[in-house]
Amino acid sequence: MISQLKSLFSYRELLLNFAKKELKVKYKNSVLGFLWSLLNPVLMMLVFTVIFTRIFRFPNIDSPSIFFLAGLLPWNFFNSSVVGGTTSIVGNSSLIKKVYFPRELLPISITLANLVNFALELIVFVGFILAFAMFNPRLLDFYKYFPYLLLLVPILFVFTLGLSLLVAALNVYFRDIQHMVGILLMVLFYSTPIIYPMSMVPGGKIGFIYSLNPMTTIVSSFKNVLFWLTNPSLNFMLYSAGSAIVMFLFGYFIFLRLEPEFAEEV
pLDDT per residue over 40-80, tens digit each? 666 766 776 666 666 666 667 777 778 888 998 999 999 99
Asked if 70 and 124 touch (Cβ cutoff 8 Å), the reply is no
In-domain check, residue 257: yes
Which amino acid type is present at position 22? E
If one counts the domains in the chain, the total is: 1
What are the C-alpha distances in Å from 142 to residues 50, 62, 69, 219, 262? 24, 15, 15, 17, 47
How many Å apart are CA 192 and CA 198, to the nearest integer?
A: 9
Q: Is residue 48 in some structural domain?
A: yes
Note whether residue 1 is domain-resident.
no
Query: Whole domain around residue 125: which residue ranges?
Result: 14-265
pLDDT over 60 at 31, yes or no:
no
Predicted pLDDT at 223: 93
Evaluate whether residue 214 is within a structural domain. yes
Distance (Å, rounded) from C-alpha 92 to C-alpha 107?
11
28 in any annotated domain: yes
Is residue 131 pLDDT above 90, yes or no?
A: no
In a domain, 31, yes or no: yes
- On whether residue 9 sits in a domain, the answer given is no
Within a domain: 33: yes
What is the pTM for the complete model shown?
0.90
